[in-house]
Amino acid sequence: MNYQALFLDIDGTILRPDHTYSEHTKIAIEQVKKQGIEVFLCTGRPIIEIDDLADELGVESLIGYNGAYAKYKGKTILNEPMPENDVDTFLSVAKSENHELILYTKDKNHFTTFEDDFVQTFKEIFQLRKNELFDKSLNDQILGITALNVHPNEASHYIINDNIRPSQVNVNGVVSAFDIIRINMNKGEAIKRVLHELNIPIENSIAFGDGMNDKEMLQTVGVGFAMGNADSELVQYADYQTKSSEEDGIFYGLKQLGVVKE
């Protein structure tokens, strides 16, 4: 197969639980790039928080905010904020349920409060640095939302229309956090747009992920890998399950395909 594009989730896929990555992961990316394969980091994280990791890995192209924003070698090719009315409704739900939100713009992470203990824990786990309190004047700029202090039984309150599905954050130490995923704008939809822009057939693409926010991504690409540490619900949407992020799962999966060598 003539593989031309590789999409990699970050947390639980590239990064291990201690926020480091293995040397084999970096080697795999280097080998892939030498073959002319386009490499994208494809994450729920805000792009403003992954520049350092991208530089370390030598990756120039990024999809962030669970698919709402994409850059190809510095050029913005996708920028799709949430509808303002939906943002208003999510804020109302969070207030009525005593939840907190992080609302992401392309420049900052906007929190409804900094006073909550779990908010501080989440901020530290994901090493969020560019933070401010939320202001409603930003409603037309929100690329993604994470709801915090949400019991799994309460996540359904955020299904405000047929275009929304909450996705539990799949990271050690984080139980009560859900990303708000849009059916019409997610990692899979972003990948379709990127591949169209680059004139790459979908069947020539590969992706690795571990959380339910990776569902559409693994369904979209030619070959989708669920990590060994993946959410058990995700595995059914992958073509293969590789080893965990702690066991060089990206390298192992790409080796299975004959894309990388020891």
For the chain, domain boundaries: 5-80+185-256, 84-182
Q: What is the mean pLDDT of each run of 10 residues along the chain (262 residues)?
A: 95 93 96 97 96 95 97 95 98 97 97 94 92 96 97 96 93 84 97 97 98 97 97 96 97 95 81
CA proximity to 171, closest of 216, 129, 125? 125
Distance CA 4, CA 219 (A): 17
CATH architecture of 84-182: 2-Layer Sandwich (3.30)
Please give the pLDDT value at position 217: 98
Please give the pLDDT value at position 173: 65
Please give the pLDDT value at position 160: 98
Please give the pLDDT value at position 175: 76
pLDDT tens digits, residue range 195-238?
Answer: 999 999 999 999 999 999 999 999 999 999 999 999 999 999 99
Please give the pLDDT value at position 221: 98
Q: So what CATH class is 5-80+185-256? A: alpha beta
Half-sphere exposure of 145 (CA within 13 A, CB side): 33
Question: What sections of 132-262 are H helices per DSSP?
Answer: 187-198, 215-220, 249-256
- Residue 230: other Cβ atoms inside 10 A: 28
- Is the pTM higher than 0.85? The answer reads yes
Find out whether 214 and 207 touch, Cβ atoms under 8 Å: yes
